[in-house]
């Protein structure tokens, strides 16, 4: 049966050889012994299963034992219903009145393999044997099945990629050529959008509380994809918003080909994108699927520190042994600024109460940022339309306050009212938060400042007018004039 030899397995090729041999006997039929199946370059961490669909009753061969191309197959008992089903008989296989099976000319071996793979998965047909490849982390491995009854075997794998079909007469060697699918997650840094030569997508970003954050996850698919489910898990500081689109090799995927699920998820993830098997069947090796979605940075966001992670993975493979890709993670950060309002009394600092400030991204102080008081002089950026927000902060006797939940950007603290007896600042105080959260970094101060310190000066008391200070000058002046007159008169009389 020459057509059966056209089909081989497709998995990941690597470097070192590590052999594993499995001796099997269960779920086989027929009288011809001595068969074996060897899979070279098996993918570490995956399992391989074989199923005898047809057993070989006999085949013609030369005196030296070489096959001449004439084979007599019959269906294994566990596969008779499948072989004789309307989807198979007359479409892929011909079955005569005695139960002998031949291949139908022109039928697709790949499509038949998919149907056989689905039969094994959904109807739990017992495999002849299952063997693991080397442990994950190994470079390559070899998997071998020996002591097989001769027949037409399906070779399946937990990779969730296209399986193989071949006849043992007596031995088959298969080369793995398929690869494991991958997933890679990126987050958008809005400050880089539209900047020439700069990629706005990376492994981290920062944002204000209440800001929408955009993500995209890129899946590299493989031929024969099976049970592709994308899982995304958001930390407490991120609120899932929606999936904004899915593309395949740059073309929009109709939403009928996938389902977004947000409830009753057993693995604790935030949402899943479940692709239909019909869509998976269209995938070729290294097809690129991009899933775009968004979330809102919320009031539970971690300030600075480890940030707010978001991770994803792709699960795939047959239902009996689901595998997942390596987890891919992005982190969204948000920052804070500490402020200290004070004056100097001699050489000592004195905290100032009753100074009122607004925070804005405009140097003229317009459009002040709405804030929510958390108590103890701590505020956070308010979410859009959040009730109870304020736009100004007045210092207490500590002279200090903190604002949480800020993006990396340039901000302006404007003093709208000074404490009694103190001069109001003539202009805003500039606060620059860098991408690393450092405040007011300069070449002279690469580590920035821990807090923004704002000095207020009081004015000296101006001199007064009126009162005794002026009167006494008048009195003394009059006395001096009178004394001068007396002295002048006396002197004239003495001269006479």
> What would the pLDDT profile of 194-216 be if each residue is shown by its tens digit?
888 889 999 999 999 999 999 99
282-334: per-residue pLDDT in tens? 888 889 999 999 999 999 999 999 999 999 999 987 666 688 899 999 999 99
Which percentage of the chain shows pLDDT scores above 70?
80
| Gap between the Cα atoms of 149 and 212, Å rounded | 61
What mean pLDDT, rounded, does the chain reach? 84
Sign of the CA dihedral running 473, 476, 482, 485: negative
Q: Which residue has the tokens 């102080």?
A: 365
Task: Write out pLDDT tens, residues 158-189.
Answer: 765 556 777 777 888 776 656 678 999 999 99
CB neighbour burial string for 242-255, b if at least 16 within 10 angstroms, e if fewer: ebeebebeeeebee
Q: What are the b/e assignments for 85-94, b being 16+ CB within 10 Å?
A: eeebeeebbe
Could you report the per-residue pLDDT of 451-493, keeping only the tens digit for each?
Answer: 999 998 775 444 544 444 455 555 566 777 777 767 776 766 6
| pLDDT category of residue 132 using cuts at 50, 70 and 90 | low
pLDDT tens track for 70-115: 889 999 988 999 999 999 999 999 999 999 999 999 888 878 887 8
% pLDDT > 90, the chain: 54
Q: What pLDDT score does 252 carry?
A: 97
If you average pLDDT over residues 114-123, what whole number do you get? 76
Give the C-alpha separation, 190 to 336, whole Å. Answer: 19
Give the pLDDT confidence of 272-290 residue by residue, as tens digits: 999 999 999 888 888 999 9
* Three state DSSP letters for the chain: CHHHHHCCCCCCCCCCCCEEEEECCCCCCCCCCCEEEEEEEECCCCEEEEEEEEEEEEEEECCCCCEEEEEEEEECHHHHHHHCCCCCECCCEEECCCCEEEECCCCCHHHHHHHHHHHHHHCCCCCCEEEECCCCCCCCEEEEEEEECCEEEEEEECCCCCCEEEECCCEEEEECCCCCCEEEEEEECHHHCCCCCCCCEECEEECCCCCEEEEEEEEECCCCCCCCEEEEEECCCEEEEEEEEEEECCEECCHHHEEEECCCCCCCCCEEEEECHHHHCCCCCCCEEEEEEEEEECCCCCCCCCCEEEEEEEEECCCCCCEECCCEEEEEECEEEEEEEEEEECCEEEECCCCEEEEECCCCCCCCCCEEEEECCEEEECCCCCCCCECCEECCCCCEEEEEEECCCEEEEEEEECCCCECCCCCCEEEEECCCCCECCCCCCCCCECCEEEECCECCCCCCCCCHHHHHHHHHHHHHHHHHHHHHHHHHHHHC
Structure confidence at residue 321 (pLDDT) = 66
What are phi and psi for residue 334, nearest 5 degrees?
-145, 150
- pLDDT given at position 2: 41
- The more confidently predicted of residues 4 and 186 is 186
So what's the pLDDT on residue 337?
98
What local confidence, expressed as pLDDT, does residue 496 receive? 57
pLDDT the model gives residue 15: 26
Confidence of residue 137 (pLDDT cuts 50, 70, 90): low
Measured distance CA(239)–CA(241) in Å, rounded: 6
Q: pLDDT at position 141, please?
A: 72
Whether residue 412 is predicted with pLDDT greater than 70 in this model: the reply is: yes
As a whole number of angstroms, the distance between CA 124 and CA 259 comes to 25
């Amino acid at each position: 049966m020459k057509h059966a030899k056209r089909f081989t397995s497709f998995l990941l090729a690597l470097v070192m050889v590590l052999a594993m041999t499995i001796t099997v006997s269960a779920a086989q039929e027929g009288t011809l012994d001595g068969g074996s199946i060897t899979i070279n370059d098996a993918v570490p961490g995956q399992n391989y299963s074989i199923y005898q669909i047809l057993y070989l009753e006999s085949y013609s061969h030369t005196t030296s034992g070489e096959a001449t191309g004439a084979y007599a197959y019959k269906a294994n008992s566990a596969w008779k219903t499948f072989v004789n089903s309307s989807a198979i008989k007359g479409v892929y296989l011909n079955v005569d009145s005695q139960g002998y099976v031949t291949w139908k000319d022109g039928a697709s071996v790949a499509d038949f393999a998919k149907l056989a793979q689905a039969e094994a998965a959904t109807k739990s047909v017992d495999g002849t044997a299952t063997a693991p490849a080397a442990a994950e982390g190994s470079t390559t491995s070899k998997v071998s099945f020996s002591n097989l009854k001769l027949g037409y075997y399906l070779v399946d794998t937990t990779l969730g990629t296209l399986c193989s079909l071949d006849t043992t007469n007596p031995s088959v060697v298969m080369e793995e050529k398929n690869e494991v699918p991958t997933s890679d997650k990126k987050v958008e840094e809005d400050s880089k959008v539209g900047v020439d030569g700069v990629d706005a997508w990376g492994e981290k970003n920062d944002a204000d509380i209440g800001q929408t954050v955009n993500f995209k996850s890129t899946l590299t698919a493989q031929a024969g994809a099976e049970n592709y489910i994308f899982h995304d898990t958001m930390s407490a500081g991120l609120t899932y918003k929606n999936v904004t689109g899915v593309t395949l090799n740059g073309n929009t995927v109709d939403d009928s080909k996938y389902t977004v699920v947000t409830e009753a998820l057993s693995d604790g993830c935030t949402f899943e994108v479940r692709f239909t098997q019909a869509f998976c069947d269209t995938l070729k090796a290294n097809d690129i699927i991009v899933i775009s979605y968004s979330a809102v940075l919320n009031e539970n966001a971690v300030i600075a520190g480890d940030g707010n992670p978001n991770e994803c993975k792709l699960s795939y493979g047959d239902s009996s042994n689901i595998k997942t890709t390596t987890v891919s993670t992005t982190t969204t950060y948000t920052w804070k600024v500490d402020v200290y309002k004070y004056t100097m009394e001699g050489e000592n600092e004195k905290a100032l109460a009753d100074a009122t400030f607004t925070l804005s991204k405009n140097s003229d102080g317009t459009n002040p940022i709405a804030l929510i008081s958390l108590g103890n002089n701590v505020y956070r950026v308010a979410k859009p339309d959040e009730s109870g927000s304020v736009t100004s902060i007045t210092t207490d006797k500590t002279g200090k306050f903190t604002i949480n939940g800020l993006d990396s950007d340039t901000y302006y603290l404007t003093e709208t009212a000074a404490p009694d007896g103190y001069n109001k600042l003539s202009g805003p105080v500039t606060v620059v938060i860098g991408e690393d959260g450092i405040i007011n970094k300069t070449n002279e101060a690469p580590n920035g400042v821990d807090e923004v310190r704002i000095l207020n000066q009081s004015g000296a008391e101006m001199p007064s007018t009126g009162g005794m200070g002026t009167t006494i000058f008048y009195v003394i002046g009059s006395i001096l004039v009178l004394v001068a007159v007396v002295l002048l008169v006396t002197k004239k009389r003495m001269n006479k």
